[in-house]
Amino acid sequence: MAASGQLSVPDQIRQLEGARKLVLGDVSYYPQVIQATLPIIGPTAQVEFRRWGADFLSEAFATPAVALSQKETLSLLVLETLVLLAQDPKQDPMVLRSVIQTAASIYPLALRWTINNPYDTAAWDHMSAIKSRILRLWDTAAVTVRICCVKFAQRVVLAQMPSVNAEPRKNDPLDVSLAMIPSGHPALDKHSLEAEASGLLDRTLGVLQDSSSEVLIVDATLNALSILIRARPSASNRILNAIFSFNPLKLASVPLTSKTKVVVRSMEKTTRMLLAHLARRDPRNPHAPRIQQYLERLMASKAEVLDGGSRKRAHGEPPSGLEVKRQRMGPAQPTFQVSPLGAGPHSLADVFALTQNAGLRSFDVSQVPATLAAKISVNTIARIDASILDRAIEGVRERLAHLHEAARQAPSPETTALDVEDDDDYEPYEPAYGPAENDEQILNKLDSEPSSQSRELQRPAVLSSLGLPTFKLPPPQPLNPNQAVKVGQGTVARVFGMMSGLGDPAMRRTKVGVNRLAASSYDRDAWITIITRLATRSSAGLNGISVKDEDESAPASAVHLGNSIRESLYTYVLEDFRKRIDVAVSWLSEEWYNDKVQQKSASDPGSSPLHYEKWALRLLDSFLPYLHAQDKVLTRFLSEIPEINAALLSRVKTLCRDPSMITLALTSLLYLVMMRPPVREIALDTMQGIWLEYEEARPSAARHLAKWRPTFLEDQKQASEGSGQLSMGATTAAAST
């Protein structure tokens, strides 16, 4: 409580905030304001003032607005207060946090000051006192304080290990490192400082080796390591080895609560981001292959642990149903009986249903994804007691025999259900590539046709005819071309719907190391192959014929089916072109192949319509505006599509209108120059074009051209010399003034 007559605490804080606003507006006031506030925020002040003051100091020494030389001078003012604040055993944790952050910012400054002023030992003594206090706190303090200790240790390691730059860099005076400490310094012993740094590094990395999984400390550590790995070569090996042996998913084995999910995801993603950052920043790093390996392994086990788990939970209904089943089956085992079916109509499902539980019986198994169902079936079959299986099979056999008996006696069409759907699975002779009618359409047809046909259809549902030797599907009505196109489009739409629903996870799987072999990843590829061939080949060659011998509507629709699939493919790829570029490539390869085949077989090579170039251009045009400078997708696209021409490359050239995309455009072209000799010349022509057209791209383009087409640059030089004597003169004149 403030004494009466004085300002209240909030009022004083408001005043202090006023002073802070002043220095934020003009940092040259920092020395005065710090000196004026130090007595108010000292170790004996009320906690509100200590908090404000420590926070203020941490801000002052962190802000890049204050020059480092000024910070160095300022640090000498505050060190003593920092020591006192840090050493109070009952210090408020929030004050401690700010004090440690301040100390981390000051540490390299104090070291540099001591290096340059060897006889001022007071500053270094203070700094050492703060350091030993912080290193003790590292063991005992609350986690929120300990993360700051980790960061402080990072600064110490950075300052006391040899830098990647042998000479201290002039443009980064903060890059204080062991190299700056002269041997024989009266206050600083180079070797013990390096040994201390080495010990602190081990202690920092310890959190990755411990089984203790304090996520804050793990994240805080990982997120502080990048600069050490990059700038301190003697530390990088040890750090990377520690990360490689770290398993961020170790917590994933315990039951996942909402908090552990957050924690596991956090550690996994934080580890992955650090390594990905290192790989991206320096792809030629000798550790790059190991980083790649680790990341692949991590993705694989994450897919197993997290995706597997979350997928089960995502489909809320099926697993709960399955769990019920498991519980039910357990106790029922000893007295397992298959009850005979009663009188009345039965569905096929009834015949095979072994449980009496109404809920389970009504459960729609088709909701379970096929892969999951397969997994469950395999597991169940592997574990099931053979005698129970035998008894179940026997029971079902008896039911079927019984039904055969009953059917022979009373085939009553009136009482049978119109249950076409249930039999679908059971009809091996239904052609899978048949008419694109869905169940509803078939049912509709049944409703509208009261003829003998429908009687015939009713019969398969009658269980009496389970043998079904004579049943045949009624022949479909001939479709007129418009219906056919409509139905065809419906099928295509369904395939795309399925691909976007199921395709993406399968896609991710294929990238996952060993799982590459899993047959499940075949699905999406198979569908893409079907759909692309449907687009390219189904109607190919028909166009010419139909024009001749049918009326106008027919050829139009024939063309439409192929093109409407192409439109759908185009939209599908563009919806997520980074992930679906492989679809684009296989599609374009099919188009190219088809174009070639058509040209060969056509009597007049010019007559058959060509699709490859049109669609390649459309795709490229559409995703170019959305590229980022780091996108690999363009290079991949250009290198994998079957044919490249000048028109395509001219689109790439236009990328250079955005200066940030120049590198991407040139890299993609360079890749073509190096890896696709047949298009080398046109790729180089394009590069030339870029050089001529885009001033900003000249330096990079010239570098590549100098290697691959040196004559061009020489010609340009000569040309400009030849034609530009005048301007040359002007330039030299300008330079001399």
Partner 1 sequence: MDVNGAPADAAVSTSQPPAQNGIEGVGSSGYKLKFCTVCASNQNRSMEAHLQLSKANYPVISFGTGSLVRLPGPSITQPNVYQFNKTSYDSMWKELREKDEDLYTRNGLLKMIDRNRGVKWGPERWQDWQIGIPRLEHATDRGSEGIEGGVADVVFTCEERCWDAVIDDLHNRGTPLNKPVHVINVDIKDNHEEASIGGQGILDLANSLNKAAQEEREAVGAMSFDTGNAASRASFDERVPDIIGEWQERWPNLPATWTLAWF
| Residues ≥6 apart with Cβ < 8 Å to 404 | 464, 466, 467
| Residues ≥6 apart with Cβ < 8 Å to 133 | 83, 86, 87
**Interaction between residue 445 and partner 1 (CB under 8 A):** no
Looking at the Cβ atoms of 254 and 384, the one nearer to partner 1 is: 254
Among 265, 404, 486, 508, binds partner 1 (CB under 8 A): 265
Q: How many residues bind partner 1 (CB under 8 A)?
A: 71
Among 73, 128, 241, 266, binds partner 1 (CB under 8 A): 266
Among 169, 277, 326, 328, binds partner 1 (CB under 8 A): 277
Among 388, 468, 574, 702, binds partner 1 (CB under 8 A): 574
User: Which of positions 658-697 make contact with partner 1 (CB under 8 A)?
Assistant: 658, 660
Looking at the Cβ atoms of 142 and 530, the one nearer to partner 1 is: 142
**Local structure of 625: helix, strand or coil:** helix
| Residues ≥6 apart with Cβ < 8 Å to 62 | 101, 105
C-beta of residue 42 within 8 angstroms of C-beta of residue 81: yes
**Interaction between residue 140 and partner 1 (CB under 8 A):** yes
Among 262, 378, 418, 675, binds partner 1 (CB under 8 A): 262
Longest dimension (CA), the chain: 117
* Nearest in space to 351 (alpha carbons), one of 335, 334, 339: 339
CB of 174 to partner 1, least distance (A): 7
**Local structure of 70: helix, strand or coil:** helix
CB of 269 to partner 1, least distance (A): 6
CB of 631 to partner 1, least distance (A): 10
* Nearest in space to 221 (alpha carbons), one of 165, 138, 109, 106: 138
C-beta of residue 628 within 8 angstroms of C-beta of residue 663: no
User: Which of positions 114-133 make contact with partner 1 (CB under 8 A)?
Assistant: none
Looking at the Cβ atoms of 174 and 341, the one nearer to partner 1 is: 174
User: Which of positions 478-507 make contact with partner 1 (CB under 8 A)?
Assistant: none
CB of 650 to partner 1, least distance (A): 15
Among 36, 195, 273, 692, binds partner 1 (CB under 8 A): 273
Looking at the Cβ atoms of 81 and 154, the one nearer to partner 1 is: 154
User: Which of positions 239-258 make contact with partner 1 (CB under 8 A)?
Assistant: 257-258
User: Which of positions 307-366 make contact with partner 1 (CB under 8 A)?
Assistant: none
C-beta of residue 672 within 8 angstroms of C-beta of residue 639: yes
Helices (H) and strands (E) in the chain, counts: 34, 0
Among 13, 19, 38, 216, binds partner 1 (CB under 8 A): 216
Looking at the Cβ atoms of 146 and 399, the one nearer to partner 1 is: 146
Looking at the Cβ atoms of 71 and 560, the one nearer to partner 1 is: 71
Looking at the Cβ atoms of 277 and 707, the one nearer to partner 1 is: 277
CB of 375 to partner 1, least distance (A): 25
**DSSP label of 3:** P
Find the part of the chain contacting partner 1 (CB under 8 A) among 134-142, 395-403, 636-644, 712-720. Answer: 134-142
User: Which of positions 54-113 make contact with partner 1 (CB under 8 A)?
Assistant: 58-59, 62-65, 89-94, 101, 104-105
Looking at the Cβ atoms of 94 and 376, the one nearer to partner 1 is: 94
Residue 163-192 contact track with partner 1, rule CB under 8 A, x = bound: -----------x------------------
Rg, Å, the chain Cα set: 38
User: What gap in Å lies between CA 213 and CA 423, rounded to an integer?
Assistant: 54
CB of 492 to partner 1, least distance (A): 21
Looking at the Cβ atoms of 137 and 235, the one nearer to partner 1 is: 137
Token readout for 632 is 């690999």
Q: Give the Cβ contact number of residue 591 at 10 Å.
A: 26
**Local structure of 220: helix, strand or coil:** helix
User: Which of positions 592-651 make contact with partner 1 (CB under 8 A)?
Assistant: 621-622, 624-626, 628-629
User: Which of positions 220-239 make contact with partner 1 (CB under 8 A)?
Assistant: 220, 223-224, 226-227, 230-231
Q: With the C-alpha atoms ordered 283, 284, 288, 292, is the resulting torsion angle positive or negative?
A: positive
User: Which of positions 380-399 make contact with partner 1 (CB under 8 A)?
Assistant: none
Looking at the Cβ atoms of 174 and 547, the one nearer to partner 1 is: 174
**Interaction between residue 47 and partner 1 (CB under 8 A):** yes
C-beta of residue 680 within 8 angstroms of C-beta of residue 716: no
Cα-to-chain-centroid distance, residue 320? 30
* Residue whose tokens read 């669609």: 615
* Nearest in space to 539 (alpha carbons), one of 588, 491, 484: 484
User: Which of positions 4-43 make contact with partner 1 (CB under 8 A)?
Assistant: 21, 24-25
* Nearest in space to 507 (alpha carbons), one of 581, 585, 588, 579: 579
Looking at the Cβ atoms of 314 and 726, the one nearer to partner 1 is: 314
**DSSP label of 606:** T
Token readout for 724 is 């530009």
User: What gap in Å lies between CA 197 and CA 154, rounded to an integer?
Assistant: 9
| Residues ≥6 apart with Cβ < 8 Å to 171 | none
| Residues ≥6 apart with Cβ < 8 Å to 218 | 207, 208, 248, 267, 270
User: Which of positions 278-307 make contact with partner 1 (CB under 8 A)?
Assistant: 280-281
